[in-house]
Amino acid sequence: MTGTLTLLRHGESTANEAGTFTGLLDVPLTPHGRRQASAAGWLLRSNHITPDVVVTSTLRRAVRTAELVCDALGTQLPTEAVWQLNERNYGALTGMTKTDARHTLGDDEYMRLRRSRTGTPPPMSLQLWEELRSSSALHGLPDGALRRTEALSDVIERVRPVLHDRLLPMVRSGRSVLVVAHGNSLRALCACIDDLTDPELEQLNLPTGQPVQYHLAPTGALVPRGGAFLDPVAAQHAAALVAAEGGT
- Of these residues, 48, 80, 87, 103, which one is catalytic? 87
CB 11 within 8 A of CB 208: yes
| Apex 143 CA angle, 137 and 148, nearest 5 | 85
How much is the pLDDT for 67?
98
Q: Is 164 a catalytic residue?
A: no
How would you classify the pairing of strands 176-181 and 212-216? unpaired
Distance (Å, whole) CA 195 – CA 180? 21
Domain boundary assignment for the chain: 4-244
Give the global pTM.
0.95
Mean pLDDT over 183-212 rounds to 96
Q: Is 98 annotated as a binding residue?
A: yes
Q: Is 14 annotated as a binding residue?
A: yes
- What's the CATH code, domain 4-244? 3.40.50.1240
Distance (Å, whole) CA 138 – CA 125? 17
Nearest to 68 by CA among 21, 11, 18, 113: 11
- Of these residues, 10, 150, 182, 202, which one is catalytic? 10
Average pLDDT over the chain, rounded to whole?
Answer: 95
Confidence of residue 238 (pLDDT cuts 50, 70, 90): confident
How much is the pLDDT for 236?
86
Q: Is 13 annotated as a binding residue?
A: yes
Instruction: Give the number of residues written for the chain.
Output: 248
Q: Is 144 annotated as a binding residue?
A: no
Which tens digits make up the pLDDT trace of 19-60? 999 999 999 999 999 999 999 999 999 999 999 999 999 999
Q: Is 215 a catalytic residue?
A: no
What residues contact 214, with CB distance under 8 A and at least 6 apart? 4, 5, 6, 7, 193, 222, 223, 224, 227, 228
